[in-house]
A and B are shown apart, each in its own frame.
Chain A
Amino acid sequence: MKDITITGSRIKKEIIIAVVSLLAAIILNIFSIAKFKTDWSELFGQLHVVILVAIAIYILVLIFRLIFWGIAGLIQKK
């Protein structure tokens, strides 16, 4: 069985993507509070939803990356 090695730079990259996803979700929350004129307390009150949105963004980005790697791999094989 072949060992899978996760490099330090890969972990760093994933953490950066996760943090960016979280920041994007926080910005979306700020935007939606302003757009729907709801209470600013939702900045903290809706943190659970913000985290869920961040996870959704991360997964979405991951799907795009997997597709990209797949296509890149195919081209290299040829």
Chain B
Amino acid sequence: MESKIKNRRDFLKEMGVYASSTAFLASIPWLDAFAQENGKNVAASDRVRIAVIGVGSRGRALLMNLQQVENVEIVAVCDNYEPHYSRAIELTDGKAKAFYDHKKMIDAVKDIDAVVVATPLHEHAHIVVDCLNADIHVFCEKAMARTLVDTKLMADTAIAKGKILQIGQQRLFNPVYLNALERVRAGEIGQITQVRAYWHRNADWRRPVPSPELERKINWRMYNEYSGGLMTELAAHQVQVANWYIDKVPTQVMGSGSICFWKDGREVYDHVALVYDYPDGSKCTYDSMIANKHHGLEEQIMGNLGTIEPEINRIYSENPPQAPGIRQLVHDIESSIFDVIPIGGATWIPETAVQYRGDVIAPYENNDSFLQFVGFAKAVKNNKPYPNLLREGYHATIAVLLGLQAMDTNEIVAWPAEYVMEKDV
């Protein structure tokens, strides 16, 4: 996919960013650094040697994306579940060395530049910290870790070792989100006062288990010990978007969670609703459920002048362009003839949403999961983390874990000062 070396400006355009103003690029410094890196020639021999740890559902997709990235070589794979271990060997045509244990892999394969970690959530922290301590750059799937302490440990280790720790928040590399952000920063939707985000599915979220003793290994998402359920799996993506667009760290969160529909022995909530407060009074309201999928998923970014719905690639003005005059006239004539005038009905017109399709935000063909790896490979090659990129993933994980805490304790939880990561200068 990434065939030609482009200049910085062309590259930014392809990523959805047109104005490339200094002020805007300062707010997404990883993109600017990525764009500058992109202009440099990389010798074919200058390959980035990557290992993939955890080649399950997501790990498989990531591995296949990595195989499309120029100058990346998959040198090792690691999975402690036999069927996935064998599948990983097959996916790499037996060229990558295969392991059941990441420590053995680190010891045996000496020249690994970076690892991609796509294990279940509770298996992120210790693997990531081991790799960072072995001076290996890390790409780790979201959310970062199951606990606040582990999340901070991962971030602190990466910073102390000067290594890259990129979190799998792929929307940060998505041209639609980047273009929308550029328009937000240019004032097109005015002041954002609310991000209303939701992710609705209608499925039990279970995977088939070949034998009962594998239940907790395969369906790790159902159990509190391993997973934060909807919060760490789904909300992590969307709360990251809210923090990013509002450009602030929340001050507190309140919420309520329940097992409302899937009473099948699971421990994690199947229905959550939360409110995140930001220092300027703006809010992110969030809900997720898995018993109705009518509304799907969205992050509705609402400003006083407009709304952005990045998941469906649309932007709406609060004052949509009016229809042509003749159509308005025909519509008025039609309404005056055919509309029923209620007698004794409501004396007000219900304030239902304006039916207006808005405009497309940006053309989008690329796969953001692929683009995030193009960025990661460049950073590894350059041996330097992108400014502020870890901060986005870190605050997203802290936010969802604090949200869980608020729901578990039924209390408003303030964001502890020690979990705020300052911006890189």
Contacts and interface: CB of A to CB of B under 8 A. Distances in A.
A26 B327 CA distance: 13
A34 B324 CA distance: 11
A76 interface: no
Interface in A22-42: 28-29, 31-36, 38, 42
A32 B329 contact: yes
B116 to A, nearest CB: 53
A28 B326 CA distance: 7
B325 A50 contact: no
B330 interface: yes
Interface in B305-337: 322, 324-330
Contacts of A35: 325, 329
A49 B325 CA distance: 11
Contacts of B328: 32, 36, 38
A8 interface: no
Contacts of A50: 326
B330 A53 contact: yes
A36 B322 contact: yes
B326 A42 contact: yes
Contacts of B330: 49, 53
A42 B327 CA distance: 11
SS of B interface (majority)? helix
Interface residues of A, number: 15
Interface string B56-76: 000000000000000000000
Interface in B59-118: none
B329 A46 contact: no
B334 to A, nearest CB: 11
B324 to A, nearest CB: 5
Interface string B268-293: 00000000000000000000000000
Interface string A36-77: 101000100110011001000000000000000000000000
A55 to B, nearest CB: 13
B319 to A, nearest CB: 14
Nearest to A31: B329
B329 A28 contact: yes
A46 B329 CA distance: 13
Contacts of B329: 28, 31-32, 35-36
Contacts of A31: 329
B203 to A, nearest CB: 46
A50 to B, nearest CB: 7
Contacts of B324: 38, 42, 45-46, 49
A11 B189 CA distance: 57
A58 to B, nearest CB: 15
A45 B324 CA distance: 9
Contacts of A53: 326, 330
Contacts of A42: 324-326
Point out which of A35, A38, A46 has the most chain B C-beta atoms below 10 A from its C-beta: A38
A36 B324 CA distance: 8
B330 to A, nearest CB: 7
Nearest to A41: B324
The 9 closest A-B pairs by CB, nearest first: A32-B325, A32-B329, A38-B325, A36-B325, A33-B325, A29-B326, A32-B326, A42-B324, A46-B324
Given A28-B326, A29-B325, A46-B324, 10 more contacts: A32-B325, A32-B326, A32-B328, A33-B325, A36-B322, A38-B324, A42-B326, A46-B325, A49-B324, A49-B326
24 contacts: A28-B326, A28-B329, A29-B326, A32-B325, A32-B326, A32-B328, A33-B325, A34-B325, A35-B325, A35-B329, A36-B322, A36-B328, A36-B329, A38-B322, A38-B324, A42-B324, A42-B325, A42-B326, A45-B324, A46-B324, A46-B325, A46-B326, A49-B327, A49-B330
